[in-house]
């Protein structure tokens, strides 16, 4: 059962709608039905966009005094913390993140993002600018104002069903935008809980509308003439489709896409620390993390001891149901994901990789895959190049700094990277040469609401979090005022 305060269908203009068809939400831990949600249809998409347009046009949110908007967002953050138990259970049941991680990591982080963007609400301002016009006395007063993107479509994946919607919603609220949020069909419940909590905190109806559903709903949003900005998080393949659809309407697009992030362990690294950080980088959320540092590149002098310690510690990880408090790794989101990973692992073994641990599904019920360590992985293999979204560590040796850097940059992705070394000069030199939007030095997977996040190459366009995330939802307007007593004559 889902909490009674959580809607179970499209939420538009503060009202729950029946939608077009039933959308089953299935637990990846045991395959049982968690809930049935009503999916949005074409009419719901149009209705939601029109509701957001109306909320934007009548300044339903932007017209609220700035300090009150800050207070509303602060109350929303507190509401998330107060409902951490309900939210943790929802996240665990619908997508399989261990409930302890959902409750004590994802929920507090999401609340912190709301707090951070509440603090930026009053910072949205323009500036006064000097001008230079050849042959004309510059007696003009010129200033800029920042205006919110009127209607934004927010399309989010299932792997962090609270945090990733909050990244986008909080930045949009700070800017003053009205939005339509489409969560992944595998995990719509948490997004519906989010909008209920936001409106209970004082966000006016119509400012945030939620449409559960699949690809057809996302495509309809991308092509709807009332949507002016699209913020999408998902795979690189899906991002290309979103960009193509949005391009037909010349819509603004922000894309946070896939990754195949490297971790470089140099000869002088603290191996114990590197192993700990790399375990977290590979196996957190069962590897279902876009910036997971799943390619571990180890200097040949440290290769054997690193593999021995890493494999022993990975073997000790506990795999189980997401609701079990002793679980380290929960299930994968669906059975097809297990089959996808197995296909890549089988091809890697046929291509010369060694399996030191795992390499197979675990007995059900549920979509479980064993923590896996693959050694001696060639850069030509698909497990080195492709995003797997599973608990698979790919380990490859290198001989020189230049070779390590070349291997790190040898994929189409550029989301994140980790560097482990005691040499500050090497750390800064290597980090500056890595094609990655985020570089961690002697750590991994760290994020803060204050720090921008996003990728290079096939990992996306634009940034989320930090001031940069707010800028994605703002337009700049320049206004000129002529102060001449007699206007200049041009002809």
Dist CA 344 CA 387 (whole Å) = 10
pLDDT in tens, 242-280: 999 999 999 999 999 999 999 999 999 999 999 999 999
Taking residues 143-165, what's their average pLDDT? Answer: 97
pLDDT in tens, 368-411: 999 999 999 999 999 999 999 999 999 999 999 999 999 999 99
CA distances from 455 to 258, 342, 354, 417, 458 (A): 9, 27, 31, 11, 8
- Using the Cα atoms of residue 317, residue 321, residue 323 and residue 324 in order, give the sign of their dihedral: negative
Please choose, from the candidates 124, 179, 129, the residue with its C-alpha nearest in 3D space to the C-alpha of residue 146.
Answer: 124
Q: Domain ranges for the chain, please list them.
A: 11-257+459-477, 262-441
Please choose, from the candidates 199, 252, 256, the residue with its C-alpha nearest in 3D space to the C-alpha of residue 474.
Answer: 252
Q: What is the DSSP letter of 27?
A: -
Encoded tokens for 300: 């040949």
Encoded tokens for 150: 């009127």
| Cβ atoms of residues 251 and 462 within 8 Å | no
pLDDT at res. 2 = 79
Domain 262-441 falls in which CATH fold? Aldehyde Dehydrogenase; Chain A, domain 2 (3.40.309)
- Calculate helix-pair angle for 189-201, 66-82, nearest 10 degrees: 130
Encoded tokens for 151: 């209607």
- Using the Cα atoms of residue 233, residue 234, residue 236 and residue 242 in order, give the sign of their dihedral: negative
Q: Among this protein's residues, is 168 annotated catalytic?
A: yes
Alpha helices, H only, 22-83: 42-57, 66-82
pLDDT at res. 1 = 65
Q: What is the DSSP letter of 284?
A: G
* 168, 182, 251, 260: the active-site residue: 168
Q: Among this protein's residues, is 464 annotated catalytic?
A: yes
| Helix and strand counts by DSSP (H, E) for the chain | 16, 22
Q: What percent of the chain has pLDDT over 70?
A: 100
Three-class SS of residue 40?
coil
Size of the chain, expressed as the number of residues it contains: 491
* 53, 99, 150, 256: the active-site residue: 256
Dist CA 359 CA 353 (whole Å) = 11
**pLDDT above 80 (res 286):** yes
| Cβ atoms of residues 160 and 178 within 8 Å | no
Dist CA 350 CA 487 (whole Å) = 79
Residue 296: burial class (beta carbons within 10 Å; 0-12, 13-18, 19+)? buried
User: Peptide bond preceding 365: is omega within 30 degrees of 0, i.e. cis?
Assistant: yes
* 99, 106, 199, 464: the active-site residue: 464
Dist CA 181 CA 444 (whole Å) = 30
pLDDT in tens, 39-83: 999 999 999 999 999 999 999 999 999 999 999 999 999 999 999
pLDDT in tens, 83-123: 999 999 999 999 999 999 999 999 999 999 999 999 999 99
Taking residues 149-176, what's their average pLDDT? Answer: 98
| Cβ atoms of residues 260 and 237 within 8 Å | no
Q: What is the DSSP letter of 326?
A: T
Q: Among this protein's residues, is 256 annotated catalytic?
A: yes
pTM of this prediction? 0.96
β-partners of residue 143 are 128, 479
| Cβ atoms of residues 177 and 252 within 8 Å | no
pLDDT in tens, 195-220: 999 999 999 999 999 999 999 999 99
pLDDT in tens, 308-366: 999 999 999 999 999 999 999 999 999 999 999 999 999 999 999 999 999 999 997 99
pLDDT at res. 491 = 81
Three-class SS of residue 328?
coil
Q: Indicate left, alpha or beta for 353 from its phi (over 0: left) and psi (-120 to 50: alpha).
A: beta
| Cβ atoms of residues 131 and 140 within 8 Å | yes
* 278, 290, 387, 472: the active-site residue: 290
The CATH H-level superfamily of 11-257+459-477 is: Aldehyde Dehydrogenase; Chain A, domain 1 (3.40.605.10)
Dist CA 289 CA 415 (whole Å) = 11
pLDDT in tens, 235-250: 999 999 999 999 999 9
Average pLDDT, the chain: 97
Q: Are strands 128-129 and 140-148 parallel, antiparallel or unpaired?
A: antiparallel
Three-class SS of residue 382?
helix
- Write down the residue that tokens 């375990």 correspond to: 279
Dist CA 36 CA 25 (whole Å) = 6
pLDDT at res. 218 = 96
- Write down the residue that tokens 């980790």 correspond to: 418
Dist CA 327 CA 324 (whole Å) = 6
> 438-467 burial, b for 16+ CB within 10 Å, e for fewer?
bbbbeebbebebeebbbbbbbbbbbbbbbe
**pLDDT above 80 (res 435):** yes
């Amino acid at each position: 059962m889902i909490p009674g305060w959580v809607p179970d269908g499209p939420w538009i203009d503060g009202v729950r709608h029946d939608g077009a068809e039933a959308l089953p939400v299935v637990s990846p831990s045991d395959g049982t039905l968690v809930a049935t949600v009503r999916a949005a249809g074409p009419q719901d998409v149009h209705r939601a966009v029109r509701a957001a347009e109306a909320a934007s046009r009548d300044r339903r949110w932007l017209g609220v005094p700035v300090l009150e908007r800050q207070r509303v967002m602060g109350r929303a953050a507190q509401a998330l913390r107060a409902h951490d138990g309900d939210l943790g259970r929802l996240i665990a049941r619908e997508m399989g993140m261990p409930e302890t991680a959902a409750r004590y990591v994802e929920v507090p982080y999401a609340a912190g993002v709301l707090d951070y963007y509440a603090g930026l609400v009053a910072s949205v301002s323009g500036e006064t600018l000097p001008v230079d016009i050849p042959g004309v006395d510059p007696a003009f007063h010129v200033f800029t104002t920042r205006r919110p993107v009127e209607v934004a479509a927010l399309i989010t994946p299932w792997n962090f069903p609270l945090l990733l919607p909050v990244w986008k919603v909080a930045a949009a609220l700070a800017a003053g935008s009205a939005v339509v949020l489409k969560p992944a069909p595998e995990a719509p419940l948490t997004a519906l809980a989010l909008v209920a909590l936001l409106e209970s905190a004082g966000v006016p109806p119509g400012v945030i509308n939620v449409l559960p559903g699949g690809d057809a709903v996302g495509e309809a949003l991308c092509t709807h003439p009332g949507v002016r900005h699209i913020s999408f998080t998902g795979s690189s393949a899906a991002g290309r489709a979103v960009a193509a659809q949005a391009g037909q309407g010349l819509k603004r697009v922000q894309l946070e896409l896939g990754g195949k992030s490297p971790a470089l362990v140099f000869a002088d690294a603290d191996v114990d620390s590197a192993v700990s950080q790399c375990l977290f980088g590979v196996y957190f959320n069962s590897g279902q993390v876009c910036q997971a540092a799943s390619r571990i590149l180890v200097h040949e002098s440290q290769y054997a001891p690193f593999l021995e310690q890493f494999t022993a510690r990975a073997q000790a990880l506990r795999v189980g149901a997401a609701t079990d408090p002793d679980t380290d790794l929960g299930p994968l989101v669906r059975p097809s994901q297990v089959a996808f990973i197995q296909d890549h692992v089988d091809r890697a073994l046929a291509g010369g990789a060694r399996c030191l641990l795992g390499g197979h599904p675990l007995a059900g019920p549920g979509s479980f895959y064993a923590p896996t360590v693959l050694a001696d992985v060639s850069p030509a293999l698909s497990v080195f190049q492709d995003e797997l979204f599973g608990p698979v560590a790919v380990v490859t040796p290198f001989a020189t700094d230049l070779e390590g850097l070349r291997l790190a940059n040898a994929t189409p992705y550029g989301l994140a990277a980790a560097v482990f070394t005691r040499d500050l000069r090497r750390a800064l030199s290597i980090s500056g040469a890595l094609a990655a939007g985020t570089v961690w030095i002697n750590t991994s997977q760290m994020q803060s609401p204050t720090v921008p996040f996003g990728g290079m190459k096939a990992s996306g366009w634009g940034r989320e979090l930090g001031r940069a995330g707010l800028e994605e939802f703002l337009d700049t307007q320049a206004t000129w005022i002529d102060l001449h007593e007699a206007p200049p004559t041009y002809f």
